[in-house]
Chain A
Amino acid sequence: MANDNDDLSRREFIGSAIAAGGAIGLGMNPARAEEAALPTISISLHVNGRDHRLNLDPRVTLLDALREQLHLTGTKKGCDHGQCGACTVLVEGRRIYSCLTLAVMQAGVRITTVEGLADGDRLHPVQEAFLHHDAFQCGYCTSGQICSAVGLLSEGHAQTDDEVRELMSGNLCRCGAYPNIVAAIQDARAKKP
């Protein structure tokens, strides 16, 4: 820790504080009292039917809170800039990018990740359809694809394959499993009660 370095920039300080164990807020650097005293915010995140009390730096995205604090690593970090869709989760049933929202903004609302879709050992119909149609290859984008597809089906705006493709364009698959993803979604849509 470069505690004595008065020239340390804000960004470098944050970087080194994180490297030292994420101990921002513990008064590690007397020369940077302002940052050291940065308050965390106490919130409750309601994820997959359970409440979690968390003390968070306000900069933590929902994605990082899910993965790093709650250890729900099904939600993936791809680009971290809202360009790939790997981080897609459902908030109050609506699909969003968890990388572009701060965790503190989502306090108290109903969040569903890929881990929360199945009913015990019974997979969600969209998960079943992805298995049945082999709608993945490496699997990295899959949890985002599945959460996005669940959102798409509840929105109810996609009927044709073209409409499914358009309304799934926020989820990239670099393996190119798109034909099977569309087939899986159409199958799940047809079986939707």
Chain B
Amino acid sequence: MELFTYVRQDDPAAAVQQAGGEALAKFLGGGTNLVDLMKLYVETPAQLLDINHLPLGKVEATAAGVRIGALVRNSDLAYHEAIRTRYPVLSEALLSGATAQIRNMATVGGNLMQRTRCPYFRDTFWPCNKRQPGSGCSALEGFNRSHAVLGTSDQCIATHPSDMCVALAALDAVIHTLGPKGERKIPFGEFHVSYGDDPAKETVLQHGELITAVELPATAFFRRSHYLKVRDRTSFEFALASAAVALEIKDNTITAARVALGGVATKPWRSAEAEQALVGAKPGEETYTGAAKAALQGAKAQAHNAFKIELAKRVIVRALTTVANMG
């Protein structure tokens, strides 16, 4: 690791102020991603601001929704009664990610900031536009079986790795932050940015802006939701393709739908196209196949990952079938 100074803050406003005064400061939550990347010299912060003692560790469930503190650990959130019953897709997504040990450490805020598992990003030997802007993308010409087919650019094809974020994309989550300019609320769909020409920029957060909470609305049909993840081994592995889906069905007609994809895109991928194909249609395989096709319409395969397009379609169909058959 590079040298850094370590500072512990107990007050959110003080943490934001301190981070604002050091251009190379990073907030330190569970450390599962940041400490790992520091060991690889991929992350080289000059200052680590340990935020684990900020009062942001509560889950508050009310009739209006659920407010999840940024420091709630993944395991605590996954097993929380309100999450299991009102947002099963989120509980399943969290429990499909990493391992019990990592889920005990990792925070909700940190998971929103999770970096890609692209092997070229994680190894400083290789050119990488995300790690070193302008150096080139090794994955485009390299081994790209695990890479994205949606939201790519000619600068970067790195897959967004988070499972939790896919569920949050489907659940209309809102991210609360505290920054040098005060508080703001960011709709989940606006939080992660498409790569375009600047793959180093992954979110709309400003330097020193702290995630304080994630809010979920009290949408009734989110109880009828599911996360399906397909991967090379059945546990402790990132998704090749995953889907977070929710359906509202009335009088044998789909009246509302949420579809988000993981493992295939450069950011947590909500598919408006799939949702449009579902709403107003009768539940059934033909409808789900149409939605899956719509979701992958703009997919672009690289040399080794064309299989992901068909795989993602099948994951969507199976996840929708499961949800439609829920009681």
Contact = CB atoms under 8 A, between A and B. Distances in A.
B94 to A, nearest CB: 12
Contacts of B253: none
Interface core residue of A80, A104, A105, A165 (most chain B CB under 10 Å)? A105
A166 B235 contact: yes
Nearest to A101: B31
Contacts of B41: 11
Contacts of A96: 101, 104-105
B35 A94 contact: no
A152 interface: yes
B2 interface: yes
A102 B39 CA distance: 11
B36 interface: yes
Given A104-B6, A152-B100, A167-B100, 20 more contacts: A61-B35, A81-B36, A81-B39, A82-B32, A82-B36, A85-B101, A88-B101, A96-B101, A97-B32, A97-B105, A101-B31, A102-B6, A102-B31, A102-B48, A105-B31, A105-B50, A165-B235, A169-B235, A170-B102, A170-B236
Contact of A10 (B2, B48, B98): B2
Interface in B161-179: none
Nearest to A172: B236
Interface in B71-111: 75, 79, 98-102, 104-105
B6 A97 contact: no
A100 B35 contact: yes
Interface of A: 10-11, 14, 35, 38-39, 41, 58-59, 61, 80-82, 85, 88, 94-97, 100-102, 104-105, 148, 151-152, 155, 157, 165-171
Nearest to B236: A169
Give the size range of B's interface with the partner.
20 to 34
13 contacts: A38-B3, A58-B4, A58-B5, A59-B1, A81-B39, A97-B101, A100-B105, A102-B6, A104-B6, A151-B104, A165-B235, A166-B235, A167-B100
> Which 10 pairs of residues, A with B, have the shortest CB-CB distance?
A170-B99, A169-B235, A58-B6, A169-B236, A59-B1, A170-B101, A94-B104, A97-B101, A100-B32, A96-B105
Nearest to B235: A169
Contacts of A80: 39
A176 to B, nearest CB: 14
B100 A148 contact: yes
A151 B101 CA distance: 9
A164 to B, nearest CB: 11
Contacts of A152: 100
Chief secondary structure at chain A's binding surface: mixed
A150 to B, nearest CB: 12
A94 B31 CA distance: 16
B28 interface: yes
A170 B6 CA distance: 29
Nearest to A106: B52
A34 B1 CA distance: 16
A41 B6 contact: yes
A105 B50 CA distance: 7
Interface string B1-43: 1111110000000000000000000001011100110010100
Contacts of A41: 6
Contacts of B104: 94-96, 151
Nearest to A34: B3
B100 A95 contact: yes
A96 B74 CA distance: 12
Contacts of B52: 105
Nearest to A60: B1
Contacts of B2: 10-11
Contacts of A81: 36, 39
Given A14-B3, A58-B5, A102 B102 contact: no
Nearest to B1: A59
Contacts of A165: 235
Given A10-B3, A59-B1, A59-B4, A102 B101 contact: no
B3 A155 contact: no
A152 B2 CA distance: 35
Contact of B3 (A35, A88, A94, A170): A35
Contacts of B75: 155
B109 to A, nearest CB: 15
Contacts of B105: 96-97, 100-101
B100 A155 contact: yes
